[in-house]
Chain A
Amino acid sequence: MERKPDGNELLIVDFLRLPKQFSWRRYRIDLEGFLLAWIMVGVFIGFYIWMSTW
């Protein structure tokens, strides 16, 4: 039985189905955390560039 999308679906598990069933609501937790983590990566790179200007 299909569960109602609640944001808990996993991008990796559904990788091959993504072209058909991707929606922000379905993968909300994966997407929010993944984007935040990339923002963190950006902050690290920004800090590194700032260090190089010392």
Chain B
Amino acid sequence: MHAKLSLLDWAVVGAYLSGTTALGLYVSKRVRTSEGFFMGNRAFGKAIMIAQNLGTGTHSDQAVGVAGAAYTSGLSGIWYQWIWLFTTPFYWLLAPVFRRLRMVTIADFFEARYGRAYSIAYAIFCLYLFALWQGIAIKGTAVTVSAITGIPELLIAITIGLTFTLYGVMGGLVAAAITDFVQGFLIVLLSFLVVPFGVIKVGGMSGLRHALPDHFFSIFSQSGGELSPFNVAMLVISGLAGIVVQPHMMAVGASGKTEMNCRIGWTYGNFIKRICTVGWTLTGLLAAALFPSIPFHDREKVFGLAVTTLLPSGLIGLMAASLMATVMSTCSAFMVDGSALFTENLYRPMIKMQRDDSHFLKVARISSVCIAVLGFVMGLTMSSVISATVQFISILPFIGITFWIGIIWPRATRAGAWASTIGSAVVFYATKWAGFSNSWSSLCSIAAGLILIMLVSLLTPGEPEDKLGRIYRDLRLPIDEQDRQLLVKEN
């Protein structure tokens, strides 16, 4: 199904890669401190915050997955991603919580709230997650772009890896977020590029309707079960429990210049992603009408097939560039956020002596490269992309419970946090082993986590008043401009 790339296609891909790198390197001049590297000096406007949230949270494998689901089950395939539609309004409430914590990483919060051991365990776990996620993103995109263009997977993976590492290492979050602004447009373009060509070929929307059976346009899946109200509710609850401890959330949620920028960026960046999902679904429906004989196990190839069959010369190169944009925007952010975890939560406490900020900036840059290399190696050696994805979704809510309760309930203690995390993980895997569905396992593990943190916290001594007092005082005080500048200097 490879398309032969024309000179114009190659020119588009070349322009995208060199332009993104040049832009990233140009803005890297603004980064002179570790705070600037990790948090972009907390100075991003609304547009950059929206683009950062869209870019970091969107990967090409999501587009490929939704198009494949729509190809087999019709319009209801949209719910593979739109399940997160119901969590999106909560981002409006969460963004100021992250910003007011005045911290660089989520591990900083865990250290202040539950002590260093919990924070270090979280930081190590998240470094593994970042490498894993980068591996998934690089692998998924390399497979798709290779299928479309015929370029070897390894060459695509190396090109992607070198590009985002170069500008990310130099410019940190500033370069990642500003290149996201350009890459955000490409992500939207990717989502809808095939649609007009497909609609024309199928004979308009009425032609699409006639070409497909009625059940392709039903609101919920005909196969049933997957999207019952209980399953949706559990996905939303475990999604909300888990999202607060996704380690990049401090940067994407709290690096705006004002609280409002953070709220708008997190909420509406994700709403734009929901709009993109409509494009992925339409691509799947059009593919179902135009290429009806693809077997079920090959359904994730329909996105690539639609691209190679429907797009004219020049636009295939643009699509390849857009697919690469999704992975570079994600991986550059993960790389920077991972280096923040290593530098701030593992390296800084480990070396006891005082060093100036330029030393930590150097450590941040070196650790960025190490995390990118680790992700790259994981991507190339990963046997199953899907099983790796499932692992992290099921693990994060166990830690998320302690974050939520740590914010809401001052009486929660470090012993309670450990008991909750370990207990909910044990319950989750025990119930899975006993044959429970994912939703019932999630319900049991979240309930166990909540009960354990409350029970054990009430039975153990409370956390020191002065530490708690500072966290809760910060949470009740919005950051004004003077505070923001002070924070940038202090960190």
List residues of A whose CB falls within 8 A of some B CB. 3, 8-13, 15-16, 29-30, 33-34, 37-38, 40-41, 44-45, 47-49, 51-54
Residues of B within 8 A of A33 (CB): 92, 263, 267
Which size bracket describes the interface of B in this complex? 35 or more
Q: How far is the CB of B432 from chain A (nearest CB, A)?
A: 30
A54 & B263 in contact (Cβ 8 Å cutoff) = no
- Bound state CA distance, A6 and B409, in angstroms? 23
Residues of B within 8 A of A15 (CB): 408
Name the contact of A54 in the complex, choosing from B209, B218, B408 (C-beta under 8 A): B209
A12 & B89 in contact (Cβ 8 Å cutoff) = no
B267 & A37 in contact (Cβ 8 Å cutoff) = yes
Name the contact of A34 in the complex, choosing from B92, B97, B218 (C-beta under 8 A): B92
A12 & B476 in contact (Cβ 8 Å cutoff) = no
A52 & B476 in contact (Cβ 8 Å cutoff) = no
List residues of B whose CB falls within 8 A of some A CB. 75, 78, 82, 85-86, 88-94, 96-97, 100, 205, 208-209, 217-219, 259-260, 263, 267, 271, 274, 278, 407-409, 472, 475-478
B92 & A12 in contact (Cβ 8 Å cutoff) = no
- Bound state CA distance, A47 and B85, in angstroms? 13
| A-B complex: 6 closest residue pairs judged by Cβ atoms | A37-B89, A33-B92, A13-B475, A15-B408, A52-B217, A38-B89
Q: How far is the CB of A13 from chain B (nearest CB, A)?
A: 5
- Bound state CA distance, A44 and B96, in angstroms? 25
Q: A9-B476, A13-B407, A47-B278 are in contact. List 13 more A-B contacts (CB 8 A).
A: A3-B477, A10-B97, A10-B475, A11-B93, A13-B97, A33-B267, A37-B267, A40-B271, A41-B89, A48-B78, A48-B219, A52-B75, A52-B218
Q: How far is the CB of B73 from chain A (nearest CB, A)?
A: 13
Q: Main SS of the interface on chain B?
A: helix
- Bound state CA distance, A13 and B271, in angstroms? 24
User: Which of A30, A38, A48 has most B Cβ within 10 Å?
Assistant: A48
Residues of A within 8 A of B219 (CB): 48-49, 52
Name the contact of B86 in the complex, choosing from A3, A41, A48 (C-beta under 8 A): A41
A44 & B85 in contact (Cβ 8 Å cutoff) = yes
**Nearest-CB residue, chain A, relative to B281:** A51
Residues of A within 8 A of B271 (CB): 37, 40, 44
Residues of A within 8 A of B90 (CB): 34
A41 and B93 in contact, given A13-B407, A54-B217 (Cβ under 8 angstroms): no
Residues of B within 8 A of A16 (CB): 408-409
A34 & B85 in contact (Cβ 8 Å cutoff) = no
Residues of B within 8 A of A44 (CB): 82, 85, 271, 274
- Bound state CA distance, A16 and B406, in angstroms? 12
- Bound state CA distance, A15 and B472, in angstroms? 13
A12 and B86 in contact, given A30-B93, A33-B263, A54-B205 (Cβ under 8 angstroms): no
